[in-house]
């Protein structure tokens, strides 16, 4: 109900005709009152000010899961995206493997020569991430083509990827061959740490991981156990953990959306 609409119990009063003289006096009073109220009003209140500056949006690169794509993640994130649309411009990209008829940002195998096994590298013994070099090059190319980006958001294997990309972040904002990326925060949803020993060395760059990070964990997640998500969060210097009672999803519940919105609002101040 609009604020100015009558309440259900109020019957509208019938309009009563007013004598001509009373109408004239009433109009004169309104004109005088309007002149008095606008005489000392600032120009901005009367519409003379120029257009207001639009608030800046944060540009966020969004990384999908193992069997996902940019289109799928956009659908999975729809409720969350609606809740943060005033703060963020979301840029969705496909893993480079999709163009070759494959899937995933990498496949966890015993050795590079092994065929893809359908293992995203969530847990288990030390593995080799087949396809990492191609993914690394593709992400750097996306930063050059569509950047700059203020932050990353990853889901599932895309969250694990975001965790590794933080290790490629130039903490001083000056990209190098070793740390070619520049961004300021990460949002990690159902992520897990790398079990590729070679890539795990990226976590040793503590200054790269000294950035704001928000970690969303599902208490009923059967794909990425919550302990794995906590282990990835522990790689960051100042992680903020948000748990929900759902499973392996990008939650769109009010509580989680509010926390993400607050996190992004802080980045704008």
Bridging pattern class, strands 128-130 and 107-109: antiparallel
DSSP character for 99?
A: G
Considering 123, 184, 200, 248, which one is annotated as catalytic?
248
* Rounded distance between C-alpha atoms, residue 209 and residue 251, angstroms: 25
* Rounded distance between C-alpha atoms, residue 10 and residue 98, angstroms: 63
How far CA 104 is from CA of 203, 222, 231, 238, 251, in Å, comes to 22, 19, 22, 29, 21
Under 8 Å CB-to-CB from 88, ≥6 apart: which residues? 57, 58, 59, 60, 81, 264
How far CA 114 is from CA of 127, 181, 226, 259, in Å, comes to 11, 30, 29, 42
Active site annotation includes 196: no
Helix (H) or strand (E) holding 24: helix 20-39
Considering 194, 221, 229, 244, which one is annotated as catalytic?
221
Show the beta-strand stretches assigned E in 118-159: 128-130, 151-155
Active site annotation includes 10: no
Find out whether 252 and 80 touch, Cβ atoms under 8 Å: yes
Nearest one of 146, 149, 152, 144 to 236, comparing CA atoms: 152
Active site annotation includes 156: yes
Structure token pair of residue 104: 């995933």
* Rounded distance between C-alpha atoms, residue 44 and residue 51, angstroms: 10
Considering 64, 94, 156, 194, which one is annotated as catalytic?
156
The distance from CA 163 to its chain's CA centroid, rounded to whole angstroms, is: 15
Question: Among all residues, which ones are annotated catalytic?
Answer: 156, 221, 248
């Amino acid at each position: 109900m609009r604020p100015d609409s009558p309440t259900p119990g109020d019957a509208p009063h019938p309009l009563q005709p007013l004598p001509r003289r009373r109408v004239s006096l009433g109009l004169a009073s309104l004109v005088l009152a309007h002149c008095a109220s606008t005489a000392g009003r600032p120009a901005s209140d009367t519409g003379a000010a120029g257009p207001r500056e639009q608030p800046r949006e944060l540009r966020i690169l969004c990384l999908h899961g193992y069997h996902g794509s940019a289109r799928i993640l956009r659908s999975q994130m729809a409720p969350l995206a609606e809740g943060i649309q005033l703060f963020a411009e979301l840029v969705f990209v496909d893993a480079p493997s999709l163009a070759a008829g494959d899937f995933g940002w990498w496949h966890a195998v015993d050795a590079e020569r092994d065929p893809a096994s359908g293992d995203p590298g969530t847990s288990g013994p030390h593995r080799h991430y087949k396809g990492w070099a191609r993914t690394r090059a593709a992400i750097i190319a996306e930063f050059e083509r569509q950047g700059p980006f203020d932050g990353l958001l990853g889901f599932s294997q895309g969250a694990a990827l975001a965790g590794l990309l933080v290790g490629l972040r130039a903490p001083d904002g000056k990209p190098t061959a070793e740390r070619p990326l520049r961004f300021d925060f990460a949002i990690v949803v159902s992520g897990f740490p790398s079990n590729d020993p070679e890539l795990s060395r990226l976590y040793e760059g503590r200054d790269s991981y000294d950035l704001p990070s928000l970690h969303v964990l599902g208490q009923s997640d059967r794909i990425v156990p919550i302990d794995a998500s906590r282990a990835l969060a522990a790689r960051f210097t100042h992680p903020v953990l948000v748990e929900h009672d759902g499973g392996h999803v990008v939650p769109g519940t009010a509580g989680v959306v509010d926390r993400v919105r607050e996190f992004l609002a802080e980045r704008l101040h």
